[in-house]
Chain A
Amino acid sequence: MIEQLRQRLLALQRAPGIEDTPKPLSMGIPAIDTVLGGGLMCGALHEIAATSESHFTAATGFALGLTVLSAPSPRLFWIAEDMALAESGVPHGAGLDAFGLAPERLVITSVAHRRDLLWAMEEALRCRTVNTVIGEMRAGGLDGVAVRRLSLAAAESDTLALLLRAVPPTDASTAATRWIVGAAPSAIMYRPGMPRVAAQLVRNRRGQVGSWILEWSDSDGRFILATHAQPVAAPALDRPHRQVA
């Protein structure tokens, strides 16, 4: 009897984004997938922050890359604060299309207040036909309760929730992962190359953190691990010689 109650309590206490969902979203890069425990959790909230405001489009690119990975032809709800759209520009259909995201499957919603942003995100997350919801906000804190509500809504419908922030947040997060993303210089000289971002996983509820340079391949519609300009120690997890046979 006690044991049964304990089981039920455990089930109730499970944090969203932690429990095993059937199909984590594979990034297509074994190193990252291992750190993430098989891939990015689909029905969970992930925070993506730009290293600084000027790197906001790089963070946008990373979020869009995850969106393309989330479903064969993903339906995306992009909810942004008015200021974010005015400062950083509105999503450009031709650019999105080249990125691998059909503009006709995108709905852009602009909101005046943070309160409306969170409400609209939650509404969109509860809709099962939406694959990904991107919420875009300028600087400023977030209520922990609101973040948890979003996580729960995402878990309920198995929708990918991405919170795009203009500056690295200082508040503690209950999101499944938190990334800090900036632009990375192209490998080729004299000519801007493929979209390339330096993605830093600074918080991961399922394990290790890490830092990678990723290049978006338009033709394949996936991320490719680019060579790092500086040597970086491999994440502690990825050390085969330390593993017990």
Chain B
Amino acid sequence: MLSLWLRRLSTDRIARSRERFSPLAVTGRRGNAEVLTAVDDAAEKLGLLSGLALTQARAMHPNIATVAEDAEADAALLESIADWCLRYTPLVACDAPDGLLLDISGCTHLYGGEHELIADLAARLENAGFAYSIAIAGTIGAAWAAAHYGEPTSYACGEERALLASLSLCALRLPPATVAGLARVGLKRIGDIIGLPRAPLTARFGPEVLRQLDRALGHEHEPLTPRIPVAPYAAEQRFAEPIAREEDVLAITERLARRLKFALERRSDGARRIELALFRTDGVVRRIAAGTSRPLRDPDEIRSLFVERLTALAGALDPGFGFDMARLSVIVAEPCPPEQIGIGGREDKAELCRLVDRLSARLGPRRVRRLIAQDSHIPEVAETVLPAQAVDDDAGWPAFRRYRNEVELSPRPLRLLARPEPIEAVAEVPDGPPLRFRWRRALHEVIAAEGPERIEGAWWSEHGGPARDYFRVEDKNGLRFWLFRAGLYRDLAQGTTPTWFLHGTFA
């Protein structure tokens, strides 16, 4: 377990983005007072500590530079560093507000060992201008304690007990009140409580103290919640020389897909959602995801999906000085039994899926849609459009056909407006069709009409709306419309006229 503490996250963020002020302090409002929330090294040397009131700090050192705190920017920075840390391990958790936890078990050999990994991480953070403190230990608790209260880089696998014994009780991540209470009875270091009888300690200070101690010592398991769910399949490649060209990115995608193919085949899985993560040399991580409409294993098809994704991104890929690592992960996998290829029907379906995937990759999955019949009699609710990748072939339509034949549904328009548009209409008789109406500023004289077809609103719901009387009308030019009057005449208040809407058009 590796704990990374960015001691000066807020001030480092400001120092990275602007010209250097020093000493620098970040201020924020706590209760009613403006206080320092973070200080840099130079300010700390002057005796300024976070928590000090700003007025007091100004009185001590009138020339300090102060910047208002921005918790969101800090959190965003921490998340982007977490993404960047994915180069070490897929299990990275944010330890807000300024730390990260990395589960590096089984990953260290890629760097030649734990010490080398620490050295690599430290060198990269140093270059990026962050003050850091890194610790590796067997448990989350011990690593955290060592990072926050030990040496800037420490390694303590197997020596958690010795390491913890010498540290202050604050290192156990206990609430300040508990720590103060323990200090009052003379318990200041973790070593002081390790040997103590457990029952009285729990009775007096609550179960939290011993739970945290047990977790730090490894007697109790502490779960790690990774920021990004771990992909079931992933393949990665590091480059000695950074790559920047689109062709190279595609070539590496294909090569990684070829590697994933074996893993997927072994468990009869196929990819439904694939993500390509490109690690830029300056620490920025680009993620490009592509969805598929059926489980996919073929590297060529995966490549062609990313061709479309990259084209859609156009210039947004921005390789900068190049990418030095690429990882292809299957985020969502589905069982995909091996199938015989070359038999008509299946192959046709596969070709259609390929087309849908390509269009979705380029235009976005929400733009490639299918009509789905819904179980409703209200026209605009009776059908929904869903991404074609998400649905299967027959989606409720056979049931709709049975229903239509049973009730002899009157004709429905070919095109339905997204929402009914209000029109000005004049009807000859109260419950009859309109005589003429104005839609989009054009006047239409009705010469033929059919109806009404009454469609009741959703009376069981508060937002159901009134009943509608639909008419199919034809105007002088032969244009055919689907109109409705909202509400019934008998429900209208005295002296008001009903409202008419145009909902669709017929051929």
B residues 374-410 near A (Cβ < 8 Å) are 379, 382-383, 385, 388, 393-395, 397, 400-401, 404, 409
- A57 part of interface (Cβ distance < 8 Å): yes
- CA of A99 to CA of B388, assembled, Å: 22
Cross-chain contact A197 with B507 (CB below 8 angstroms): yes
State the Cβ distance, A203 to closest chain B Cβ, in Å.
22
Cross-chain contact B385 with A90 (CB below 8 angstroms): yes
Complex: chain A residue closest to B351, CB-CB: A129
Cross-chain contact A109 with B479 (CB below 8 angstroms): no
Cross-chain contact A98 with B415 (CB below 8 angstroms): no
Q: Which of A64, A185, A195 contacts B477 (CB 8 A)?
A: A185
- Which B residues are CB-close (under 8 A) to A120? 359, 362-363
- B504 part of interface (Cβ distance < 8 Å): yes
Cross-chain contact A95 with B373 (CB below 8 angstroms): no
Cross-chain contact A107 with B368 (CB below 8 angstroms): yes
Cross-chain contact A92 with B413 (CB below 8 angstroms): yes
Of B158-166, B195-203, B443-451, the segment with at least 4 beta carbons within 8 Å of chain A is B443-451
If A58-B507, A89-B415, A186-B474 touch, does A109 touch B401 (CB 8 Å cutoff)? Answer: no
- B472 part of interface (Cβ distance < 8 Å): yes
Main secondary structure of the interface of B (DSSP, over half): mixed
- A196 part of interface (Cβ distance < 8 Å): yes
Cross-chain contact A57 with B371 (CB below 8 angstroms): no
- Which B residues are CB-close (under 8 A) to A116? 362-363
- Which A residues are CB-close (under 8 A) to B351? 127-129
- B476 part of interface (Cβ distance < 8 Å): yes
- A21 part of interface (Cβ distance < 8 Å): no
- Which B residues are CB-close (under 8 A) to A182? 477-478
If A111-B367, A123-B358, A192-B449 touch, does A57 touch B352 (CB 8 Å cutoff)? Answer: no
- B75 part of interface (Cβ distance < 8 Å): no
- A189 part of interface (Cβ distance < 8 Å): yes
State the Cβ distance, A100 to closest chain B Cβ, in Å.
12
- CA of A98 to CA of B395, assembled, Å: 17
- CA of A58 to CA of B382, assembled, Å: 23
- Which A residues are CB-close (under 8 A) to B448? 186, 188-192
Cross-chain contact B400 with A64 (CB below 8 angstroms): no
B415-427 interface code vs A (CB 8 A; 1 in, 0 out): 1111000000000
- A168 part of interface (Cβ distance < 8 Å): no
If A94-B400, A94-B404 touch, does A64 touch B507 (CB 8 Å cutoff)? Answer: yes
Cross-chain contact A92 with B479 (CB below 8 angstroms): no
- Number of A residues whose C-beta is below 8 Å from B? 58
In this complex, the member of A95, A99, A102, A197 whose beta carbon has the largest number of chain B beta carbons within 10 angstroms is A95
- B505 part of interface (Cβ distance < 8 Å): yes
A residues 168-196 near B (Cβ < 8 Å) are 182-186, 188-192, 195-196
Cross-chain contact A89 with B367 (CB below 8 angstroms): no
- CA of A186 to CA of B349, assembled, Å: 41
Cross-chain contact B414 with A95 (CB below 8 angstroms): yes
If A91-B371, A106-B370 touch, does A98 touch B411 (CB 8 Å cutoff)? Answer: yes
Complex: chain B residue closest to A196, CB-CB: B478
- CA of A97 to CA of B411, assembled, Å: 10
- CA of A184 to CA of B477, assembled, Å: 7
Cross-chain contact B394 with A108 (CB below 8 angstroms): no
State the Cβ distance, A52 to closest chain B Cβ, in Å.
9
B344-372 interface code vs A (CB 8 A; 1 in, 0 out): 00001101101110110011000111110
- CA of A214 to CA of B250, assembled, Å: 52
State the Cβ distance, B300 to closest chain A Cβ, in Å.
16
- CA of A94 to CA of B401, assembled, Å: 9
- CA of A176 to CA of B369, assembled, Å: 29
Q: Which of B354, B409, B416, B450 contacts A92 (CB 8 A)?
A: B416
In this complex, the member of A89, A94, A130, A195 whose beta carbon has the largest number of chain B beta carbons within 10 angstroms is A94
Complex: chain A residue closest to B355, CB-CB: A127
In this complex, the member of B358, B397, B479 whose beta carbon has the largest number of chain A beta carbons within 10 angstroms is B479
Cross-chain contact B373 with A103 (CB below 8 angstroms): yes
- A104 part of interface (Cβ distance < 8 Å): yes
- Which B residues are CB-close (under 8 A) to A90? 385, 415-416, 418
Complex: chain B residue closest to A102, CB-CB: B397
State the Cβ distance, B313 to closest chain A Cβ, in Å.
14
Cross-chain contact A127 with B474 (CB below 8 angstroms): no
State the Cβ distance, A156 to closest chain B Cβ, in Å.
14
Cross-chain contact A109 with B369 (CB below 8 angstroms): yes
- CA of A111 to CA of B400, assembled, Å: 29
Cross-chain contact B507 with A92 (CB below 8 angstroms): no
- B473 part of interface (Cβ distance < 8 Å): yes
- B442 part of interface (Cβ distance < 8 Å): yes
State the Cβ distance, B75 to closest chain A Cβ, in Å.
33
**A to B CB contacts below 8 Å, 23 in the list:** A57-B415, A85-B418, A89-B504, A91-B371, A93-B373, A94-B400, A95-B506, A99-B507, A104-B370, A109-B363, A110-B369, A116-B363, A123-B355, A123-B359, A127-B354, A128-B348, A130-B355, A182-B477, A183-B477, A183-B507, A184-B478, A191-B448, A195-B414
A62-B507, A96-B414, A185-B477 given. 9 additional CB < 8 A pairs?
A55-B477, A55-B479, A89-B505, A92-B383, A95-B413, A97-B401, A98-B404, A104-B393, A190-B449
Chain A interface (Cβ < 8 Å from any Cβ of B): 54-58, 60-62, 64, 75, 77, 85-86, 88-99, 102-104, 106-111, 116, 119-120, 123-124, 127-130, 182-186, 188-192, 195-198, 216
Chain B interface (Cβ < 8 Å from any Cβ of A): 348-349, 351-352, 354-356, 358-359, 362-363, 367-371, 373, 379, 382-383, 385, 388, 393-395, 397, 400-401, 404, 409, 411-418, 442, 447-450, 472-474, 476-480, 504-507
